[in-house]
Every structure is written in C-alpha cells, then in structure tokens.
Structure 1
Amino acid sequence: MRRLPPLSALPAFEATARLGSVTAAGAELGRTHGAISKQIAHLSEDLGGGLFEKAGNGLKLTSRGERLRNASTALLDDLSALAQVLRSEQDERQIDILTSATFATRWLIPRLPRFYMRCPDVDLRLRMSGPQAVPDHDFDVLVSYDRLRSPTTDMDGQIIGDTSYGIVCAPGYPLQEMGHLWTAPVAFVQVGAPQSWQMWMRLADVEFRAEQEVEHAHHLLALEAAAAGLGVALAERRLVDQDLSTGRLVAPLGFRTVPGGLLAVVTPRASRRSTVAVLIEWLREEAL
C-alpha cells in the first residue's frame, strides 16, 4: 500500500519553490497567502521536516525541499502533459453544433442515428441559436439554412447543399391568386426578420399580401400554426418534407432554390479536428 504525501499540496509547494515566494505562488494558483502557507506546513509536517527556510525577504529550499522539488516538478510536468493529451482527445470526440431549434428538431436530430452508426465515438452536442449572438469560442460548428433571414454573402462558411423556400399552409386554407398577386388572411412573420417575405417575393418573382401579419418567435411555432389552418408560413423545404408527404401541409406556389444556401461555419477552435471534417462530409451526404 502506498503511503503518499498530501498530493493536493504539491502544486502549492512546487509554485512556491519555483517562484521563491508564497505570495507569488498564491497569485499564480488563485489562492490566498494563508492557504498556500497552510498547505506547505501540512506537507512539511507529513514529510517530517522543513522544506523551506528564510532567505532575506524570500524563501529558499532546504536540502529536503530540493529533493522534493526535483521529484514533484517532474511529476507535475508529466501529469500536465498527459492531461493536455487526454483533453485534446476529448475535444476531438466532442463537437458542439449551433443551429436553430426548428432545423435541429425537423431535420438534423432524426438523421443523427445514421451519423452515430458511422462515428460511434463522436459526441455531438446541440446548442440552439437565438436572437442573441453566441461567441464562437462556445461552439464548434454553426449550421445555417435560413437564407431569407441571412443572405449567404453575410457568412463565410462551407457549402453543405442548396436550400429552397416556399409558402406552406393547411390544405384548403384560403390562399388566393389574383393575377400576379397572391393573398391570404394571415401570414406569419418571424420576429427580427421582417425582410424574409420581401426576399422570398423577389426570389419567387411574385407579389404577396396578407390581411394580417402575426409575429412568431420560433419558426417551429409558425409551421405548426400553419398546419393547424391558422395562416401561411414561409418554409425551407427540408423542414416541411414530412408534412408535405403526409398532406398535413401543402405548398401551392412550389419552392424556389438558393444554390449553396445550406452552410456550415467552423470556428477557429475546431478547424483542425478530423472529426469535424467527417461531420461536414456527412452533412453534405444527408443534404443531397
């Protein structure tokens, strides 16, 4: 059975030995002067003798302290190097994806079992985007599809696939055509993106007018409201494919394509990870 010294005191001892000052060691380790002194005293008591002695306004190691420093410095250096390797291995396996809740629930999550069959050791963690910007040090990959809200010229990303957009509503909803003008009683407008309808009209080369515009905070809510017959919503085709196939929603005007509209933006912290490259290639395959 090993009889080890109090290992939690070794960083305090090593920092004090290296810096020659309890105060400096405390500043480096984020501990108080008293806490560092207490740990060193506990270590000295356990090892049966003093490890430091006064040298003017500072400290110097005793012969016993020198022997402990040589051993503890090598030990802490080895542990630090191993910890860096283990953390980098964990970082390689874990990928934090930032995307919208609608895209995640309607397209990405249903496909994840296929990704895990290919890469069972990779841990994908989803973060939901919102009106507040998320710093790029908090995620690895941003997956963005909403080109009516954010044009591709605003983003520097890798192309995953095309996107396409159209008006969707419940079967029988009174969406009417009057020459070049389409009208509806209610249209759902996303909070913070009033330009989306105008961009779609330019893309589709049609005019649209609603008697009433109702704001929605989340695109998923607009799609559900449209399926319930409460109005019309703009949708990217991937998000409504299942509803279209079951007849829950219809797209009377069809869809208009934005080439290269589905993007993946890789942050600097993740740019060299091989697992991120695998994820990007898998997304491209799924987007076909």
Structure 2
Amino acid sequence: MRRLPPLSALPAFEATARLGSVTAAAAELGRTHSAVSKQISHLAEDLGGGLFEKAGNGLKLTPRGERLRKAVTPMLDELAAIAQALRAELDDRHIDIVTSATFATRWLIPRLPRFYAGHPEVEIGLRMSGREKVPDHEIDVVLSYDRLRSPSPDFQSFSLGNTAYGPVCAPDYPLRKIGEEWIAPVRLLQAGVPQSWREWMLRAGETLHAEHDVEYAHHFLALEAAAAGLGVALAERRLVEQDLATRRLIAPLGFVSVEGGLQAAVMPRARSRKAITALLEWLAEEARDGAA
C-alpha cells in the first residue's frame, strides 16, 4: 500500500514554489491565503520538515522543498497534459488558438462569424501570445504572421497565405524623401522588437530614418498612434486594410510581399481532429480572399 503525501496540497505547494509567494499562489489557485498556507503546513508536517524559508519579502525552498518540487512539477505538468488530451478526445469541438492580440482583433475575430456560420458546432478559444509562454498542452493551433519580427518561425508550421509589410501613417503626416532616403519625424516601434524596421528595409530595398523612435508595448497601439498622426508605423497589410480603405491610414511606400508569411502550427495531439482541418481550410480561404 502506498503512503502518499496529502495530494490536494501539492498544487498549493507547486504554485508557491513557482511564484515565491503564498499570496500569489492563492490568487492563481482561486483560494484564500489562509487555505494555501494551511495546506503547505499540513504537507510539511506529513513529510517531517519545513519546505520553505523566508527570503526577504518572499519565500524560497529549503533543500527538502527543492527535492519535492523537482518531483511534483513534472508530475503536475504531465497530469495537466493528460487531462487536457482526454477532454479534447471527448470534445473535438473546442479549438484553442494562440496568436498576437493585434492579429486577433484586427483580422481574425471580425471574420469568425463566417466560420461559425459554416461550423456552428465548433467553439474557438483565443489566447494571446506574449512574454509569458502558453504551455503546449493548452494550445491546439498557433497562428503567426509577423515575419519582420521573426523571419523564420520558431515552430514547425505550414503556410496559409502570403503576407505583405509596409510603413503606414496618417494622410497628412510629414514623411518626405531626401535623395535616396525617406525621413520621418517619428518612427513607431513595438517594444522588444527593434529589428522590424531593419528587416523591412532589407526586404524592401528602402531606407527610412527618423529623428526619434517611440516604443509602444503592443503593435496595435503603434498602429493607433500612426492613425492619430503621431508617427509612422510598420504594418502587415491585412491588419490595416480597413484603415487604408477609409484613408485613416495611407501606405506611401507600398508593401513588400513575403511568400507563405502567414503560418499555422498544429500541436501533434490535435492534428487528426476534423474541427482543426476545417479551421485551417477556412483560414487559408480567408487569407486568399483577402490577398492583394
């Protein structure tokens, strides 16, 4: 007969070890500080010694606690992955997509009613990509369009369509050409992606310099700033098609195309699902219909 520790306390222990705080662990687990603290104390008592010690305003693992963490974390990760896979087998209708907030809000979400019209049984969940990596077991499909940020996607993928990139600004923005160079008062950048302008200039064979560069935390904020006349931003054509149609934005240098730039990766456990196949076929059709 196995003599196991109190299993219900393990998620509280793992979250506290990972976050370094009972308060943060309680918030993540949706429990009270007192409940998490009691579970950790009960677990430590059962195992015969302290698992955490004070470290400034937080907690750190004792050597005993670190030994337990090394065993518990992969166990909980594997259990979560198995649970997700079993749920997916029972419910093929739900698809979890990870993509950028800009792509989701400016291109994907406005088109989803057309997908639902043809596939009313399918439910799509959207997760935003960012600095915090979404665990693989919570993903079915990853959509990636930004080949200026990442010329080669860091996952095995296939193409849904071409992409095109170019500078955009308000119609009256003072972008001018001096000799062979374009000059702007302000270039708008997405924070953490300084290479985008350089990559565009290499692909387009153009040079665009600015008196100042201004960073925005999200790409859609840079696009809104461009529309407000605050600078010139880089955009994938699909993300600004409505703005171009209404002349809220203009693309004075046009767009440079990247063949196969719209990419999709499907997690191995989801590849055989009929709903995934239907989604990818629809995405490819939408990408073709929206191509210039």
Larger Rg: 1
Distance 1:185 1:213 in 2: 9
The answer on 1:106 being equivalent to 2:106 is yes
Secondary structure of the residue aligned to 1:152 is: coil
The alignment covers a number of residue pairs equal to: 213
Counterpart residue number, 2:121: 121
Contact (CA 8 Å) 1:143, 1:262: kept in 2 or not?
yes
Conserved? CA contact 1:171–1:249, under 8 Å: yes
Aligned partners of 2:193 and 2:87: how far apart in 1?
43
Per-residue Cα deviation, 1:231-263 (whole angstroms, up to 9, x for no partner): 000000000000000010000000000000000
Q: Alpha-carbon deviation of 1:134? A: 2.2
Displacement of 1:89 in angstroms is 2.8
Query: Per-residue displacement from partner, 1:75-125 (whole Å, max 9, x unpaired)?
Result: xxxxxxxxx9875131x1110000011100000000000100111111000
Gap change, CA 1:153 and 1:220, over 3 Å in 2? closer
Taking the aligned partners of 1:152 and 1:245, their CA distance within structure 2 comes to: 30
Name the TM-score, length of structure 2 as normaliser: 0.69
SS state at 2:192 partner = coil
Q: Counterpart of 1:209 in 2: which secondary structure?
A: strand
Query: In the alignment, is residue 97 of structure 1 matched against residue 100 of structure 2?
Result: no
Of all paired residues, the percent bearing the same amino acid is: 58
Q: Give the letter for the 2:259 counterpart.
A: P
> CA contact under 8 A between 2:144 and 2:153: conserved in structure 1?
no
SS in structure 1 at match of 2:284:
helix
Partner Cα separation in structure 1 for residue 86 and residue 192 of structure 2: 43
Q: Normalized against structure 1, the TM-score is what?
A: 0.70
CA distance in 1, matches of 2:127, 2:8: 34
Provide the C-alpha distance between the structure 2 equivalents of 1:260 and 1:135, rounded to a whole number of angstroms: 26
Deviation at 1:138, TM superposition (A): 1.7
Task: Mark the CA change 1:31 to 1:179 in structure 2 (over 3 Å): closer, same or farther.
Answer: closer
Using the alignment, how far apart are the partners of 2:257 and 2:155 within structure 1? 18
Alignment match, 1:185: 185
Aligned match of 1:269: 269
Q: 1:191 to 1:138 in 2, by over 3 A?
A: same
Alignment of 1:8-157 (within 5 A): 21=1, 24=2, 27=4, 30=7, 88-90=89-91, 92-152=92-152, 154-157=154-157
- Structure 1 distance, partners of 2:86, 2:131, is 36
CA distance in structure 2 between the partners assigned to 1:214 and 1:220 by the alignment = 14
Q: CA deviation at 1:29?
A: 9.4
Partner of 1:204: 204
| Structure 1 counterpart of 2:188, one-letter code | F
1:178, distance to aligned residue in structure 2 (A):
1.1
- CA separation in 1, counterparts of 2:262 and 2:87? 34
**Using the alignment, how far apart are the partners of 1:170 and 1:281 within structure 2?**
35
Paired residue type of 1:146: D
Aligned residue runs from structure 1 range 190-269, under 5 A: 190-269=190-269
Match of 1:60 in 2: none
